[in-house]
Amino acid sequence: MQLNGCGGVQFNDTAEAVSVETLEIMQKANEKSGCTNYLPTLITTSDELMKQGVRVMREYLAKHPNQALGLHLEGPWLNLVKKGTHNPNFVRKPDAALVDFLCENADVITKVTLAPEMVPAEVISKLANAGIVVSAGHSNATLKEAKAGFRAGITFATHLYNAMPYITGREPGLAGAILDEADIYCGIIADGLHVDYANIRNAKRLKGDKLCLVTDATAPAGANIEQFIFAGKTIYYRNGLCVDENGTLSGSSLTMIEGVRNLVEHCGIALDEVLRMATLYPARAIGVEKRLGTLAAGKVANLTAFTPDFKITKTIVNVTRS
């Protein structure tokens, strides 16, 4: 649902990096850690690089079905107060030309993350009506602003608890709105660094089958590197954390199988339910549950086998039988 990079590469920042070759490397790295499908995530950048990302995604999908499942654009319509590691020079308000471009290419753009308080309701509705999953994130929204966004067409929330206001007694904010609305899906980063495991347990009790395991991974996931470029700056990988020079979290090094293990071992969630959080629930969230997310006749057989101690033994991708 949210993968900036892995296997030593990033699908971000430069024309050279935003390529079919990068996506192929990411797919191979994913398979080694038990992930068969993903949403390549391009964070806040220029119109030109976003348009290249769309072209690359279209080319990749024609070549590799049932692997990457469309583009996730995280930005650029965010709130600067909650920009996180995103480049502030590219954070901006929606313009009609870019909105139209995204809608015209909704067949390869699966998800767009935006701050609901920064985007007019009619833009949110237009994206949703085009078939794009609209997700709330990097937002300073109040409860009222968040719920207005939900009514306009937001159905998902990006990395619950991160890059959104704290919940207080008088103002639940975006996080409180997500937890209060039963129908809103959300992703959560289960590395124990972005979100405390107690908060994950609480979110699971409230969200049930709407809580999806995500990694928000970057280049160090599945690779042995100490630094990389992200959002136009050097990111350092130290002690499991990906941070910029100011200590701002900048994605994760989490793999999917590590996330599964963490939810079982640290959150006490049953393995079968954790696997649904990594498969079925994300598939439902982006509308591909008829072909992916469970094992059933007529569905694509994307499968992962692992040992009781969470070691991947085999990954099968894109197997069908008529």
Q: What are the tens digits of pLDDT across the range 58-115?
A: 999 999 999 999 999 999 999 999 999 999 999 999 999 999 999 999 999 999 999 9
- Average pLDDT of the chain, as a whole number: 97
In a domain, 302, yes or no: no
Note whether residue 178 is domain-resident: yes
Token pair belonging to 56:
């690359």
Residue 305 belongs to a domain? no
| SS3 call for 223 | coil
Has residue 152 got a pLDDT over 60?
Answer: yes
Q: Give the pLDDT band of residue 203 (cuts 50, 70, 90).
A: very high
- Residues sharing a CB contact under 8 Å with residue 227, sequence separation 6 or more, in sequence order: 234, 235, 236, 237
pLDDT value at residue 322: 39
In this prediction, residue 319 carries a pLDDT of 74
Residues that are catalytic = 216
Is residue 116 within 8 A of residue 77, CB to CB? The reply is no
Indicate whether 316 belongs to any domain. no
Q: How far apart are CA 163 and CA 160, in angstroms?
A: 8
Average pLDDT over residues 118-141: 99
Written as one letter, the residue type at 289 is E
Domain membership of residue 239 (yes or no) is yes
Tens of pLDDT, residue by residue over 18-63, are 999 999 999 999 999 999 999 999 999 999 999 999 999 999 999 9
User: How high is the pLDDT of residue 26?
Assistant: 98
Q: What is the arithmetic mean of pLDDT over 184-207?
A: 99
Domain that holds residue 38: 5-297
Number of domains in the chain: 1
Residue 149, pLDDT above cutoff 90 = yes
Q: How far is CA 168 from CA 108, 175, 198, 241, 242, in A?
A: 38, 10, 17, 27, 28
Predicted confidence (pLDDT) at residue 196 exceeds the cutoff of 60: yes
CATH of the domain at 131: 3.20.20.140
